[in-house]
Amino acid sequence: MHFLITGDSWSQGEWDKLPYYHVAHKGVEQYLIDDGNTVTNVGRGGYNNNESLAAIPLIDFDHLVYFYTDPLRQATEDEIRHKLPFDIINSHKFEISNKFFQIKHKTNCQITVIGGCAKYQGDIKNIDYVVPSLSELLVSKFHDSEYMTSREWEEHFFKHEKQFSTEQKSQWLTVMTRAGEKYTVWNKNKDLFWPDGLHSNRKGHLILYQHLKKLWFNE
């Protein structure tokens, strides 16, 4: 079977930032290859959700494995300046859901969505399988959020925060507080999120892969 993987850095596997920040193990991609599958991985560190889907090439494949990232990462400066963050999130979730419909229509592939640094809580009608949050899968008592801190939106945030309305300030405080909880959980579970402390490692990816095989093949 030919699997196509896309997404941000969470789609790439285990990261080791010492002495150079690089992929130390390809995670789900490697486990699929080990089981005799063909894998094309077009994901890239720093991709937002639109970029991850735009990277899908015009080739034949059977199954799309998509690592979902923070929807605020693709927000424009104008959106950050004038809109509430939860409205931005909902708007971009709707946009991504429509793109899943387009992919289904064009390729007739199966689609699996995995919430990586952000929990996926969008529409699932055009998705075959979903793991809403990899962090929740690995740490069962953790309640993940559908957003994450990222330099893409933080740059716009710090530029305009003094002009925010009271409601904007309140919602952004919630975003930052909830997003910060992830780092605490990852730091407390180093066996699953180390050596870099920002991504699931090969052990976490193996747990994910075993879970996916149960979903896909009833194994």
Q: Which fold has domain 2-217?
A: Rossmann fold (3.40.50)
User: 3-state DSSP call for residue 83?
Assistant: coil
Could you tell me the pTM of the whole model?
Answer: 0.97
Q: 85-107 and 166-188 are packed helices; what angle lies between their axes, rounded to 10 degrees?
A: 60
The residues spanned by each domain of the chain are 2-217
Rounded Cα distance, 96 and 51, in Å: 11
Cβ neighbors of 208 (< 8 A, separation 6 or more) are 27, 28, 114, 131, 134, 137, 138, 200
pLDDT per residue as tens digits for the range 178-200? 999 999 999 999 999 999 999 99
pLDDT 10s digits, 88-112: 999 999 999 999 999 999 999 999 9
